[in-house]
Amino acid sequence: MKVLIGGQIEKGGTVIFCVKAFRTLGIELEVVNYNEHFRISFVNRVVNKFFKTPYYFGVKALNSVLIERTEKFSPDFVLLFKPIFISPKTVEKIKKITKVFSWYPDFILFTKTASTLFFRSVLLYDAHFSFNFENAEELKKLGVKNSFFLPCAFDPDCHGPSKILDKEKTENGSDIIFIGTYAKERRSEYLERLCKDGYDIKIYGNGWEKHPKNSCLWRNGCIQSKVLHCGDMSKTLNLSKITIAFVRDHNKETLACRTYEIPACGAFMLHQRTSKIGEVLEEGREAEFFSSYEEMRKKIDFYLKNEDLRKQIAERGKNRVFREDLFVHRIKKIFEVFKELR
């Protein structure tokens, strides 16, 4: 089997993990990194602030490379991650050579993360896979025949339990930790309230400079202004007692990559309750869930006092995701669809 993958390759990113998963399965790969052939210009960013749906110009070189590499490599199928820079003509040309699939992480009706190129191409793909369940359903409403919910997963070489030195136990860690990008919604509101209620919190991730500078989180040094990847993330999770996981409400998320990465690292997870989380982990046995601030705080208080139970739940959660939620498992699903469409 031969597969061509296209995507934005970044440190600790989904595309890298998927490339590794394909190779683990013995698949011959050709990889096209969008970043090597296209960068969004300053002018393009400014112009797109005035559009509901972004339009990206200057993508001709990237699209030409995709076509040329597909013609030369002749893969069994092409898998494009979030193909918002790929034109309809490119999809049509690739389809004359082989099957072409997309794997989309966001919610299609939150148009600021999509593009006019993608919307014009939607019906041309042989199949769409979506991290987001709502996205898979919306694509069907747009007329897509083959739309599949295929959530994120984790990479075992990146996300796994870390050995903690005694020195590190005293120098780092916190009672409560959150690792994720800033968003002016439930995550920033609840974490700010926890800070005001006197809890020991540390926050890692992008964009937290947008949080008000007069906030409790800034005053108390909770915001670390640092992004964590792989080993660093695993070690920090294992140094802390409770890891809170939020989904992006504006993006209609029901599951996030952290849903799998946190338990994979052997950390205790307190996850925002959604319609899908119960299908991944069993509440009270493999993770804990919350629907409101009051429920979240009540469970934090309980599990801070019950270390043994906390560790048992974390261990069961880790075992569950290692059985079912590796990126290798997701890639196998893509091959099942490919065989049905062949």
Is residue 218 domain-shared with residue 248, that is, in the same domain? yes
Res 251 pLDDT > 90:
no
Is residue 67 domain-shared with residue 198, that is, in the same domain? no
Band (171; pLDDT cuts 50, 70, 90): low
Is residue 266 domain-shared with residue 129, that is, in the same domain? no
Q: Which two tokens stand for residue 31?
A: 């990889």
Q: pLDDT (tens digit, 9 = 90+) per residue, 13-57?
A: 899 999 999 999 999 999 999 999 999 999 999 999 999 999 999
Q: In this predicted structure, what is the pLDDT of residue 147?
A: 97
Distance of CA 332 to the CA centre of its chain: 19
Is residue 136 domain-shared with residue 235, that is, in the same domain? no
Range of the domain at 119: 2-153+326-341
Res 64 pLDDT > 80:
yes
Between CA 96 and CA 170 the distance in angstroms is: 60
Q: pLDDT (tens digit, 9 = 90+) per residue, 275-289?
A: 999 999 999 999 999
DSSP state of 326: B
Residue pair 95/124 in contact by the 8 Å Cβ criterion: yes
Q: pLDDT (tens digit, 9 = 90+) per residue, 188-243?
A: 999 999 999 999 999 999 999 999 999 999 999 999 988 888 888 898 998 899 99
CATH code of residue 32: 3.40.50.2000
Grouping H, G, I as helix, E, B as strand and the rest as coil, residue 249 is helix
Count of residues making up the chain: 342
Is residue 312 domain-shared with residue 337, that is, in the same domain? no
Is residue 113 domain-shared with residue 197, that is, in the same domain? no
Residue pair 122/142 in contact by the 8 Å Cβ criterion: yes
Is residue 204 domain-shared with residue 261, that is, in the same domain? yes
Q: Which two tokens stand for residue 14?
A: 């989904």
Pick from 290, 183, 170: nearest CA to 242: 290
Q: Is 226 exposed, middle or buried (0-12, 13-18, 19+ CB in 10 A)?
A: middle
Is residue 307 domain-shared with residue 225, that is, in the same domain? yes
Q: pLDDT (tens digit, 9 = 90+) per residue, 77-131?
A: 999 999 999 999 999 999 999 999 999 999 998 888 999 999 999 999 999 999 9
Between CA 272 and CA 288 the distance in angstroms is: 9
Task: Give me the number of domains the chain comprises.
Answer: 2
DSSP state of 52: S
Domain contains 158: no
Q: What percentage of the chain reaches a pLDDT higher than 70?
A: 97
Is residue 276 domain-shared with residue 304, that is, in the same domain? yes
Between CA 314 and CA 332 the distance in angstroms is: 27
Q: In this predicted structure, what is the pLDDT of residue 229?
A: 84
Q: pLDDT (tens digit, 9 = 90+) per residue, 124-170?
A: 999 999 999 999 999 999 999 999 999 999 999 988 887 765 556 55
Is residue 44 domain-shared with residue 179, that is, in the same domain? no
Residue pair 286/320 in contact by the 8 Å Cβ criterion: yes
Q: Which two tokens stand for residue 215?
A: 């906030």
Q: In this predicted structure, what is the pLDDT of residue 230?
A: 86
Domain contains 159: no
Q: In this predicted structure, what is the pLDDT of residue 169?
A: 57
Domain contains 161: no
Is residue 277 domain-shared with residue 333, that is, in the same domain? no
Q: pLDDT (tens digit, 9 = 90+) per residue, 266-275?
A: 999 999 999 9
Rounded to two decimals, the pTM is 0.92
Between CA 277 and CA 274 the distance in angstroms is: 6
Mean pLDDT of the chain: 93
Is residue 119 domain-shared with residue 48, that is, in the same domain? yes
- Please give the sequence-ordered ranges of beta strands (E in DSSP) within 220-341, or none if there are none: 242-245, 269-272, 288-290
Domain contains 187: yes
